[in-house]
Amino acid sequence: MNFWTKNEDFEQCAKRHLLHMRKKTEACTTNRHKKCAELKGLELSKIIMDLVGLAFVALFYLVILVGGLWMARQKGLFEPDSWEEIVLAKRELGLCLGIFTLIATEVGGAFVNGTAEEVFNRGLLWCQAPIGYSLSMTINGLFIVPKLRAKKYVTCIDSLQDAYGQTMGGLIYLPSCIGDICWTAAVLSALGSSLSIILDLDVRVSIIGSALIAIIYTLCGGMYSVAFTDMIQITFIFGGLWLAIPFMVTAQGVNIQDLSIKDWIGEIHDKEWITYIDGFLLILCGGIPWQPYHQRALAMTSTKRAQILSVISTIGCLTLMIPPVMIGGIAKATNATLYPQISFESNPSNILPESLYHLTPYWVSVFGLSAISAAAMSSVDSSLLSGASYLTHNIYSGIYRKSHQSSKSDNVKVFRISVLVLGFCSTLLSLSTSTIYGLWILAGDLGYVVVFPQFIGSVYFPEKLSSCGSLTAGMVSIVLRLLIGEEMIGLPPVLDTSNVFFPIKTLLMLISLLALIVTSKLTKKVSQQMK
């Protein structure tokens, strides 16, 4: 703009120019303030929403904690001699409560998060874990539970100790116990990530807070508190996930009709069949010597009810697969370009919380977050309960104090210390390492290769087995499993299994079983002297 005209001197021109620049500056400042105000408004709105969401989740946690402590008080579990009540609810667990707690135990954080992830990545066919573990409950109920209940066992490890001696039987289950610790750590880690996505909450705070809640009510109330809180948690899981589905389906950029049957189901290529069968058998059979399941089956009032519990819980778990399956498909059908913050491809493990956060109204996502929290808590408290029961009954009472029977009050003290120790280890592991899933996979494999064949032997033909046979089979199977390596924890393979046209882990399990039978037959007399 030319400010200087023929009829003006330089001074007048300068004044007009300064006036113009001042107005322009004021206008820019005003616009900038407006933008700053808008940003501040959005930031304030986000803070308020996060605070409301945090208050809701805190209320949910408070309900769980108070409910668990109330049940402990109602059942008199603060008494120092309440050992039977804490571990097995005096074998008086009702059918309805038993169904709720078993379904909640199975439908944990990995169940809902993992199912959504697998459907997104590879389809329903690859959701082996929820299907395999669910079916293993029915197998247990029909073929295993009647034999365990007939001998009035407290844990499923009692069967191993009766067959192979107290020490050997207790040591056999150690890989499964380590697996429970890694599993709890993985669940806490996943929960922390979910809370951080939706509530912008520090992961460490989420993990420590969730762990403390589960530790407190499990420590105080044992089976009764865990079962009662599981009933609350399964209600949130069911309601929270189903509530989110209609909002996700109708969200902008979601074209669920574009997905083909192949997208939903997935496919198995020719070379994948061996790995697929191996993985499914590992999950199905590895879930049979699963203490959290057996603890509930052994707590029922009768064997018939324990079998009914198993079948109905299987159906319930498979039914609760539907919401995470749908969420995984919805995520696959979402036009991610409309949601630049979404990281489905780069971080598929967070598909469930990110779908809740971006594809539903905020209040729905917070309610869905309570479902994720409930699923995680139900897994954590069950792992703590089963692990502490094993350490108290089978290790402390069965091995350490086997010369003279420990008192009920001593068992209660050891149980509560065990809950604290297991909770601390799991929490520390979830905060300090990135190889949790790898450790859990390795522990799960060892459970299948080592524990499963010896557990089946102890149930069906214990008189033909021996401690020496158990020791030999355990050493052989552990060495062979370590030799094939584990990529997720950086364990290199020594044995090349690429040309083995047979499910390799199932092969190792059969070798372990064969070693157990043959060695036991050869050393039966020696093992009897060792007992």
What domains are defined for the chain?
Answer: 50-452 (1.20.1730.10)
The tokens for 459 are: 């149930």
DSSP-based three-state secondary structure for 473:
helix
Predicted structure pTM score: 0.87
The tokens for 340 are: 């630049």
Q: Of all helices (H) and strands (E), which one includes residue 386?
A: helix 362-389
Q: Identity (one letter) of the amino acid at 318?
A: L
Using the Cα atoms of residue 53, residue 58, residue 64 and residue 67 in order, give the sign of their dihedral.
negative
Interatomic CA distance for residues 166 and 171, integer angstroms: 9
List the one residue out of 266, 311, 322, 279 whose CA is nearest residue 107: 322
The predicted pLDDT at position 465 comes to: 93
Mark 438-468 as b/e (b = at least 16 C-beta within 10 Å). bbbbbbbbbbbbbbbbbbbbbbeeeeebbbb
The predicted pLDDT at position 16 comes to: 54
List the one residue out of 177, 80, 83 whose CA is nearest residue 384: 177
List the one residue out of 35, 97, 318 whose CA is nearest residue 227: 97
DSSP 287-315: TTT-HHHHHHHHHBSSHHHHHHHHHHHHH
The predicted pLDDT at position 531 comes to: 52
DSSP 88-123: HGGG-B-HHHHHHHHHHHHS-HHHHHHHHHHHHHT-
Q: What torsion, rounded to 10 degrees, do the Cα atoms 497, 484, 159, 162 define?
A: 110
Interatomic CA distance for residues 443 and 405, integer angstroms: 31
> How do the pLDDT tens digits run along the chain, 531 residues long?
444 444 445 455 545 544 555 444 444 444 544 444 444 554 666 677 778 888 888 888 899 999 999 998 888 777 777 788 899 998 999 999 999 999 999 887 778 988 999 999 999 999 998 999 999 999 999 999 999 999 999 999 999 999 999 999 999 998 888 888 888 888 888 788 788 877 777 888 888 988 999 999 999 989 999 999 999 999 999 999 999 999 999 999 999 998 999 999 999 988 789 999 999 999 999 999 999 999 999 999 999 999 999 999 999 999 999 999 999 999 999 988 888 888 777 777 788 988 998 899 988 988 888 888 888 888 899 999 999 999 999 999 988 877 667 788 899 999 999 999 999 999 998 887 666 666 677 778 888 999 999 999 999 999 999 999 999 999 999 999 999 988 777 788 898 887 777 899 999 999 999 999 999 998 876 656 655
Q: What torsion, rounded to 10 degrees, do the Cα atoms 115, 117, 120, 125 define?
A: -40
Residue 39, burial from CB neighbour count under 10 angstroms (0-12, 13-18, 19+): exposed
- The answer to whether the beta carbons of residues 255 and 417 sit under 8 Å apart is no
CA atoms within 13 A on the CB side of 232: 20
Which residues, at least 6 apart from 45, have a Cβ–Cβ distance to it below 8 Å?
none
Which residues, at least 6 apart from 2, have a Cβ–Cβ distance to it below 8 Å?
none
The predicted pLDDT at position 388 comes to: 94
First to last CA, the chain: 104
Residue 263, burial from CB neighbour count under 10 angstroms (0-12, 13-18, 19+): middle
* Phi, psi (degrees; rounded to nearest 5) at 486: -150, 105
Residue 530, burial from CB neighbour count under 10 angstroms (0-12, 13-18, 19+): middle
The tokens for 122 are: 């590879």
Interatomic CA distance for residues 358 and 245, integer angstroms: 13
